[in-house]
A and B are shown apart, each in its own frame.
Chain A
Amino acid sequence: DIQMTQSPSPLSASVGDRVTITCRASQGIRNDLGWYQQKPGKAPKRLIYAASSLQSGVPSRFSGSGSGTEFTLTISCLQPEDFATYYCLQYNSDPWTFGQGTKVEVK
């Protein structure tokens, strides 16, 4: 199975900061990766698919990059509503696997 390792966890930041979360795959997954945001008590929401494609309706301050084994999610200017937990998901091979999550918390 492919292991997905996220870092850092947690991440302390302030409004206006540029935030980067990394996800590393234990083997190459091309660009078959999505990023999800989850707020407490809510279902997750996909932000990015195919490693770098922005989901419709998601603010442009979110961006994704990477291919192969290393991927990043960047929030260019952190907003109050962005404090949440973020997960990566690889769907390159079965079983699909999530990273362990990165909680972005107030510094």
Chain B
Amino acid sequence: EVQLVESGGGLIQPGGSLRLSCAASGITVTTSYMNWVRQAPGKGLEWVSVIYGGGTTKYADSVKGRFTTSRDTSKNTLHLQMNSLRDDDTAVYYCVGTVAATAADYWGQGTLVTVSS
């Protein structure tokens, strides 16, 4: 069974930093492409970033230069380092894994990040 479990969310002041983690089991973060998707309260889905199997990363314009996606292959874990947080970064952050070979698509349960003073 595939599981993606996010952690690291919480309340943070504007300008602060937070690191989200996504522990994967049943899929390997290096042979899948892994995304972060967020959803502000009452709003639609917003794609945040992708890291491809080869390690290339891409970001939404709204987070470029502030957020960094990385992975720890020894722990089969994905990370999202979020710096210079703003009020409009408040959202539930989902980790999403897609296995290219099978087109299977898996989502975590999400972790809430609240940016507020």
Contact = CB atoms under 8 A, between A and B. Distances in A.
Nearest to A100: B44
B74 to A, nearest CB: 26
Contacts of A95: 47, 58-61
Interface residues of A, number: 24
Nearest to B33: A91
Nearest to B92: A43
A79 to B, nearest CB: 22
B46 interface: yes
Interface in A1-60: 1, 34, 36, 38, 43-46, 49-50, 53, 55-56
Contacts of B67: none
A101 B109 CA distance: 20
Contact of A94 (B58, B105, B108, B110): B58
Contacts, number: 52
B110 A43 contact: yes
Contacts of A89: 45, 47
B50 interface: yes
A22 to B, nearest CB: 16
Given A55-B103, A96-B47, 19 more contacts: A1-B61, A36-B45, A43-B108, A43-B109, A45-B107, A49-B103, A55-B105, A56-B102, A85-B44, A87-B44, A87-B45, A94-B50, A94-B58, A95-B47, A95-B59, A96-B60, A97-B47, A98-B44, A98-B47
Interface of A: 1, 34, 36, 38, 43-46, 49-50, 53, 55-56, 85, 87, 89, 94-101
